[in-house]
Amino acid sequence: MRLAAVYYDGRNAKAHPVTLCLEGDKLLLQGKEIVRRDAISALEIQPPLGSTPRVVLFADGARCEVADNRGFAELFPGADSRVAVLENSWRWSGLALLLVLALAGAGYLWGLPYAAQRLAQRIPAELAASLDREVLADLDGKVFQTSRLSPDRRRGLEARVAELVLPDPAGRPGAIEFRFSAELGPNAFALPGGTVVVLDALVELAEDDQEIVAVLLHEMGHVAGRHALRQMLQASAVGLAMAWYIGDFSNMLAAAPALMLEARYSRDFERDADRFAAEALQANAIPPGRLADMLLKLETARQRGLDAKLGAGSDYLSSHPTSEERIQRLRSQ
């Protein structure tokens, strides 16, 4: 097969009408007073660009253009790889861009949480526990002060928690730490290593120990799912990427303990922790509605505007939008 083409020798702008055909692994180009044979492997075939003529570049700077796109594709069947054909279409380019964005989004939404989950399972308990000690050491004296609850009261609550029947032993906290915080108000936190921090105001807000236990069981649900650790790993992966981009790691490291307090668990984590709490409450003959009672109380405390100065970073208070849904679900158990 012979294909009509226009040849430019690379030395001047004159266009020479020529024909192209294949001779084994060579391209034979013939025109008036022009004959050249070039190994196909030495040619650069430019990817198609819409319906503009196809361009073949020669090693010596010469070029030729083929207007017959279809004929060109027949002459060089290997040249139009699928990638080239896809590149050719703006529509495909747009789709490819969307796909890349979707993949990046999926990676962020699912890949990162999945990686964090897998990693959280592999972090040794001692390492996670030492992380808790560091977080506490950093927060003590800043946002946390020594608990003002009597030692008896604290020991009593610890004993109460120790004797609870749990649906999953992994929810058993490594330690329970009582603290006073003027800033954070009624609250409890699960730290990455499984320590549960209980603030005095939470104990004082509760009508009885059942309500305290209900909230602690919710936190123990976070411990069982290693939610704080997963959250921290995810945040630090994003933080690392940002630090790498900005080139500043010191800020990220300094922000780690504060990050703990600002942890806003996903709805899924909250739901899991509520489910754990509801199961455990039933197993310990406490109505799951007691957790709902306590959530309402925390909600009311929040609505009183206390949290404006108490800080917005707390587990219960910041999950506010889902509170009603959570209360409904707990009440229906």
Least CB distance to Zn ion at residue 189 (A): 9
Residues 132 and 124: their CA atoms lie apart, in Å, by: 13
Least CB distance to Zn ion at residue 224 (A): 12
Residues 131 and 226: their CA atoms lie apart, in Å, by: 13
Burial of 212 (0-12, 13-18, 19+ CB in 10 A): buried
66 or 295, CB closer to Zn ion? 295
66 or 220, CB closer to Zn ion? 220
Least CB distance to Zn ion at residue 104 (A): 29
Candidates 32-40, 243-251, 265-273, 302-310; binding stretch for Zn ion (CB under 5 A): 265-273
Determine if 293 is a binding residue for Zn ion (CB under 5 A).
no
48 or 186, CB closer to Zn ion? 186
Cα 245 to Cα 107, 163, 235, 248, 257, distances in angstroms: 18, 49, 15, 8, 22
Binding-site residue total for Zn ion (CB under 5 A)? 2
Cα 270 to Cα 95, 185, 285, distances in angstroms: 36, 20, 22
20 or 184, CB closer to Zn ion? 184
148 or 264, CB closer to Zn ion? 264
201 or 273, CB closer to Zn ion? 273
Burial of 126 (0-12, 13-18, 19+ CB in 10 A): exposed
Least CB distance to Zn ion at residue 249 (A): 30
Least CB distance to Zn ion at residue 173 (A): 14
Candidates 106-114, 165-173, 270-278, 295-303; binding stretch for Zn ion (CB under 5 A): 270-278
Residues between 304 and 323 with contacts to Zn ion, criterion CB under 5 A: 315
Determine if 274 is a binding residue for Zn ion (CB under 5 A).
no
Candidates 3-11, 67-75, 110-118, 267-275; binding stretch for Zn ion (CB under 5 A): 267-275
Determine if 273 is a binding residue for Zn ion (CB under 5 A).
yes
Least CB distance to Zn ion at residue 125 (A): 21
Candidates 60-68, 102-110, 131-139, 273-281; binding stretch for Zn ion (CB under 5 A): 273-281
136 or 228, CB closer to Zn ion? 228
Least CB distance to Zn ion at residue 223 (A): 11
200 or 315, CB closer to Zn ion? 315
Least CB distance to Zn ion at residue 228 (A): 10
Determine contact, residues 8/14, Cβ cutoff 8 Å. yes
Least CB distance to Zn ion at residue 81 (A): 52
135 or 263, CB closer to Zn ion? 263
Point out which residues bind Zn ion (CB under 5 A): 273, 315
